[in-house]
């Protein structure tokens, strides 16, 4: 029952505080033992008498000890304080206090820190949620990032006239259940470039050739979306020469198509999109090609 065991130990510690220590703590908190338990929203404590009506506007009440039962450890905002009787009105606890329970009134700066068992917040920041709630929200719903790479394709030859070219597919795996995609972008990594034509070679000017992406079960021309656009005159290579490779990052967010774990096909499409990538001299070989999906989620 309240008043026995660990409660009596706590009571002894409170009563043995010096007057100076109590005065120093007074600006941060007030401790009291419940003398009248009216309802789940109202109690009285003679320890809290005489502080001045509404002295605790904006404060919180926390239950320090309730015989290891509800509402022990609960924290609720106060709405009224009556100085003459030590009566406190607050947001409802899950259970009514009992005579002999111990409570502490806390300044909002202290109370807003929350407790270890404070539930994680949801949605936007409010003026009433506790700091601990938002810390848990950030931990459990923080932003995560991973890059998913395809297997290596040794040669992809870009022709002089647009055609359907298959690039390596990417497998996305390990995204947690309930993950919300923030952004997904495609990148193309090329180890080296070799020109097999008889002239300087590069991506054709006046074109908007691109790579398209779709889920493996979808159809080209209906279920794919544009993912990466080649810049005209890029990948310039001298006649009959090799040059070092590069990485091209797309600037299109493709999360509307890359929606979660699965296999995603990537291609340059001429027959269905008239966007087949073309080289001015034809026969521009891309060596050691890898495609990458850069995925951010929360």
Q: How confident is the model over 212-270, as pLDDT tens digits?
A: 999 999 999 999 999 999 999 999 999 999 999 999 999 999 999 999 999 999 999 99
Position 69 confidence tier, pLDDT thresholds 50, 70, 90: very high
pLDDT at 89 over 60: yes
Q: 148 and 105 in one domain?
A: no
Q: Quick: pLDDT tens for 148-172.
A: 999 999 999 999 998 999 999 999 9
132 is a domain residue: no
The three state secondary structure string of the chain is: CCCCCHHHHHHHHHHCCCHHHHHHHHCCEEEEECCEECCCCEEECHHHCCCCCCCCCCCEEEEEECCCCCCCCCEEEEEEEECCCCEEEECCCCCCCCCCCEEEEECHHHHCCCCCCCCCCCCCCCCCCCHHHHHHHHHHHCCEEEEEECCCEEEEEECCCCCCEEEEEEEECCCCCCCCEEEEEEEEEEEEEEECCCCCECECCCCCCEEEEEECCCCCCCCCEEEEECCCCCCCECCCCEEEEEEEECCCCCCCCCCCCEEEEEEECCCCCCCCCCECCCCEEEEEEEEEEEEEEC
Q: Are residues 149 and 293 in the same domain?
A: yes
Query: Rounded mean pLDDT of 175-186?
Result: 91
Residue 277 has pLDDT above 70, yes or no: yes
pLDDT in tens, 98-137: 999 999 999 888 877 876 667 777 766 676 667 777 777 6
Report if residue 76 sits inside a domain: yes
Q: pTM score, two decimals? A: 0.57
Question: What is the CATH classification number for the domain harbouring 33?
Answer: 2.40.10.190
Read off the pLDDT band of 3 (50, 70, 90): very low
pLDDT band, residue 20 (cuts 50/70/90): low
| 12: pLDDT strictly greater than 60 | no
Structural domain span for residue 12: 6-111
Across 66-82, average pLDDT: 92
79 in any annotated domain? yes
* 118 is a domain residue: no
State the CATH number of the domain containing residue 221. 2.60.120
Mean pLDDT of 272-284: 91
Same domain, 93 and 159: no
Indicate the number of domains in the chain.
Answer: 2
**Residue 39, pLDDT above cutoff 50:** yes
């Amino acid at each position: 029952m309240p008043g026995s065991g660990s409660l009596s130990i706590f009571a002894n510690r409170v009563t043995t505080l010096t007057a100076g220590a109590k005065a120093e703590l007074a600006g941060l908190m007030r401790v009291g033992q419940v003398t009248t338990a009216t309802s789940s929203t109202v109690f009285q404590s003679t320890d809290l008498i005489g502080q001045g009506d509404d002295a605790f506007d904006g404060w919180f009440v926390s239950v320090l000890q309730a015989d290891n039962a509800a509402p022990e450890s609960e924290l609720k905002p106060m709405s009224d304080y009556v100085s003459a009787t030590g009566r406190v009105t607050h947001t409802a606890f899950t259970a009514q206090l009992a005579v002999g329970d111990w409570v502490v009134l806390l300044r909002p700066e202290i109370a807003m820190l929350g407790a270890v068992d404070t539930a994680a917040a949801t949605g936007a920041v409010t003026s009433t949620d506790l700091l601990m709630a938002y810390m848990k929200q950030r931990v459990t719903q923080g932003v995560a990032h991973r890059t998913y790479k395809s297997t290596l394709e040794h040669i992809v030859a870009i022709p002089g006239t647009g055609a359907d070219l298959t690039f390596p597919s990417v497998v996305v795996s390990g995204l947690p259940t309930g993950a919300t995609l923030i952004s997904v972008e495609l990148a193309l990594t090329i180890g080296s470039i070799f020109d097999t034509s008889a002239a300087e070679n590069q991506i054709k000017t006046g074109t908007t050739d691109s790579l398209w992406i779709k889920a493996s079960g979808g159809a080209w021309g209906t279920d794919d979306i544009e993912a990466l656009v080649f810049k005209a005159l890029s990948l310039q290579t001298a006649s009959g020469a090799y040059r070092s490779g590069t990485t091209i990052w797309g600037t299109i967010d493709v999360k509307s198509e890359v929606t979660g774990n699965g296999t995603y096909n990537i291609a340059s499409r001429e027959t269905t999109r008239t966007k087949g990538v073309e080289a001015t001299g034809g026969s521009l070989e891309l060596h050691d090609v890898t495609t990458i999906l850069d995925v951010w989620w929360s």
